[in-house]
Amino acid sequence: MFSISRKDLVSLVVFSAIVMTMPIWLAPFGAAYPGLMQKFVIYAIFAIGFNILFGLTGYLSFGHAVFIGVGSYTTIWSFKLLTMDILPAMVFAVIVAGLFALAIGYFSLRRTGIYFSILTLAFAQMSYSLAYSVLTPITNGETGLLLARGDPRYIDQIFGAQMNVAGLPQPTLIGNHLGGYGGFYLCAVLLIACFYVSQKIFASPFGMALRGIKSNQTRMNYTGFNTKPYTLAAFVISGMFAGLAGALLSITDPLAGAERMKWTESGNVVLMTILGGVGTLFGPVVGAWLIKYFENIFSAINLNTLNNFFSFLPDGIQSFVVTIMSKFVGEGWHLTLGLLFVVIVVFLPGGLVEGFQRLAARFRRRQTKPDKSPSAQPAE
């Protein structure tokens, strides 16, 4: 029941190893600090969930950041009202995000193609302005929702936790405080679990039905599948993944703001998935890491760094190279990302994962050369 194919098992083990050793292999890239690695891992969860909708069914949602926001707000409210323990917070976040996805998906999925995308975008923008201004009592508007020392935390009270210790309360996991690395490993374990769930969905008849919807919805209907609940289920599942990602954002940094629901955030997850490889298991993760890396590291490169890096060049050439390069780093990181995106979409429509697969296939072919397959085409 929980078993997976040998190939998937190998992928899962390799994936777990890569995630767990992030503090080691990210060090040379200057990204091995917990705050950033948490972001890498959390957005990978978001992208994996998004890929279950977009990669399998082909429905392109432009409003998935809503569910990140919903997950974040729910988590903070769970902290404020109930307990600082993160388990109930995560459960609530996933459930509430799932309910939002159910409502938004129910209406949006009445249309397909571009109209579906526009509907999700419309819902996302509505939710954003609700969070930003209309629902200020719940979301604390522009400032964002914060913890306060005077929060009731009824469950914590019942268990007699000390309510008036100095400073703000910290999220705990069954009584244990999460440090920087604790937070990272919590997120990492959840990412691996999400990867496993995604593998199970990809390999199941349910996943096959979702792929069938992407490939030929007419045939699906005439084959006896009721495609509406299938797409809605995929929408809700991906919304729940996003809810979990939102919860983890608020657990590692206990605040929630409307900017997490902005349409640029929804657009980012689309970019992540396409960059890495739509409909592949690893693709969304690779894309999420690449974009977060650019956003956080590439954008921090300044003139000094460049001057140091190119100091081996003669003066005139150095200043020339630095002038050119400086347009592509720092504030200009969007430019580099955009160029990269164009190159990948034009030359590798299957994303980076397809690129790796092509390289691997070429390498393998070179190793086992002329070996005519015995199962050649039968003569017509």
Tokens linked to 4: 């997976």
Q: Is 204 in the site for another protein (CB under 8 A)?
A: yes
Return the number of the residue (98 or 257) whose C-beta is nearest another protein.
Answer: 98
Contacts of 203 (CB under 8 A, 6+ apart): 4, 5, 8
Residue type, 341: F
If we measure between CA atoms, which residue out of 164, 165, 182 comes closest to residue 173?
A: 182
Binding mask 181-200 for another protein (x = CB under 8 A): ----------------x--x
Question: Rounded CA gap, 111 and 55, in Å?
Answer: 18
Q: Is 306 in the site for another protein (CB under 8 A)?
A: no
Q: Is 264 in the site for another protein (CB under 8 A)?
A: no
Q: Is 225 in the site for another protein (CB under 8 A)?
A: yes
Least separation in angstroms between CB 1 and another protein: 5
Q: How far is CA 375 from CA 263, 362, 364, 379, in A?
A: 51, 21, 19, 11
Size of the site for another protein (CB under 8 A): 37
Q: Is 304 in the site for another protein (CB under 8 A)?
A: no
Question: Rounded CA gap, 57 and 168, in Å?
Answer: 44
Least separation in angstroms between CB 343 and another protein: 24
Per-position DSSP letters for 110-130, written without gaps between them: TS-HHHHHHHHHHHHHHHHHI
**Among 212, 239, 257, 283, interactor with another protein by CB under 8 A:** 212
Q: How far is CA 341 from CA 78, 178, 272, 279, in A?
A: 39, 36, 10, 17
Q: Is 95 in the site for another protein (CB under 8 A)?
A: no
Whether the CA torsion 44, 48, 49, 54 is positive or negative: it is positive
The answer to whether 64 and 242 are in contact (CB under 8 A) is yes
Q: Is 302 strand, coil or helix? A: coil
Stretch that binds another protein, among 3-11, 101-109, 110-118, 124-132 (CB under 8 A): 3-11
Tokens linked to 25: 């292999």
Return the number of the residue (75 or 227) whose C-beta is nearest another protein.
Answer: 227
Return the number of the residue (52 or 147) whose C-beta is nearest another protein.
Answer: 52
Binding mask 361-380 for another protein (x = CB under 8 A): --------------x-xx-x
**Among 216, 302, 319, 323, interactor with another protein by CB under 8 A:** 216
Return the number of the residue (65 or 233) whose C-beta is nearest another protein.
Answer: 233
Stretch that binds another protein, among 1-9, 90-98, 132-140, 153-161 (CB under 8 A): 1-9
Q: Is 222 in the site for another protein (CB under 8 A)?
A: yes
If we measure between CA atoms, which residue out of 258, 256, 255 comes closest to residue 133?
A: 258
Contacts with another protein, residue ranges (CB under 8 A):
1-5, 197, 200-201, 203-209, 211-212, 214-216, 218-227, 229-230, 233, 375, 377-378, 380
